[in-house]
Amino acid sequence: MDCLEKLPETLLEMADPAYRDFNARIIPGAGEMLGIRIPQLRELARQIARDDNWREFVARSDCRWFEERMLQGMVIGKVRCPIDEKLALVARFVPRIDNWALCDCFCWRLRPAEREPMWLFIQPYFRSEAEYDIRFAVVMATANFIDEEHLEALLRHFEAFRHEAYYARMGVAWAVSVCFVKFPERMRRWLAETCPLDNWTFNKSIQKITESLRVSTADKDFARSLRRSTK
């Protein structure tokens, strides 16, 4: 209980005004920030996840600081509880996501028992009209489901993707680039022959591929050759 009782004081002690100002420039819509680095928040989340009152903390809707909401998401990922309960916590948290950083730090590496339930759980989010619902599904998939078992299903989701929101599109572009890293032969065919992504998202995917340190020079040249004109 001490961890949660002293949480406001702990967060204020960790605050870094210079880091806050930096984050405020790159995370639009985050609200009031303290400026706490991610490794510090993850360690604090581990402590809270062991606290008997973690459920009370993640249920709070009166968080003042961006970092408190990020902590809530991290705690949900770290706690050990029945999968049905965890998915209910996720369902309550996703509507609170209103920026890319909160989304991406919430999406954790799943434990084996969480994988199949989460794969089924995120399916409707791929089809949502909400920007961060889609990004949540895509980032969770990028972290956990770019593998032989799920690749074709993911490509079908990307083929059905129709959204104008920047962070939804960027999430898909990032995911496509990771798919290319892991399955270059399949992705070369998909990008060159059947990819129906809108031109903006397609070209951002190409950009992400060419920026990757895990893609060969030859594959980068191939990807550049696929760039579409946006005129």
Domain final residue pick, 64, 86, 106: 106
- pTM (two decimals): 0.95
Residues 92 and 199 in one domain: no
pLDDT in tens, 118-128: 999 999 999 99
Q: Where is the domain boundary, 86, 106, 126?
A: 106
Q: Where are the alpha helices (DSSP H) in 50-161?
A: 54-59, 66-78, 83-93, 100-106, 112-126, 131-144, 151-160
Same domain, 228 and 213: yes
Over residues 29-71, the pLDDT tens digits come to: 899 999 999 999 999 999 999 999 999 999 999 999 999 999 9
The whole-number average pLDDT for the span 17-32 is 95
151 and 92 belong to one structural domain: no
Pairwise CA distance, residues 106 & 118, whole Å:
14
pLDDT recorded at residue 5: 85
- Structural domain count of the chain: 2
What are 180-218's pLDDT values in tens digits? Answer: 999 999 999 999 998 999 999 999 999 999 999 999 999
Domain region containing 176: 109-231
When pLDDT is averaged across residues 73-89 and rounded to a whole number, the result is 97
Do 169 and 123 fall within a single domain?
A: yes
- Of the three residues 58, 79, 106, the one that is the final residue of a domain is 106
Do 132 and 41 share a domain, yes or no?
no
**Which residue bears the tokens 């909160």?**
102
- Asked if residue 104 lies in contact with residue 139, where contact means CB atoms within 8 angstroms, the answer is yes
Place of tokens 């791929």: 126
The answer to whether the CB of 103 falls within 8 A of the CB of 136 is: yes
What is residue 146's DSSP assignment? -
Residues 101 and 120 in one domain: no
Tell whether 100 and 173 lie within a shared domain: no
Mean pLDDT, to the nearest integer, of 148-158?
A: 98
Mean pLDDT of the chain: 96
Instruction: Say yes or no to pLDDT of 28 above 80.
Output: yes
Give the DSSP letter string of 202-213.
Answer: HHHHHHHHHH-T
The confidence score (pLDDT) of residue 3 equals 80
Q: Are residues 43 and 144 in the same domain?
A: no
Give the mean pLDDT of 87-96. Answer: 98
Residue 1 has pLDDT above 70, yes or no: no
Same-domain pairing of 92 and 8 = yes
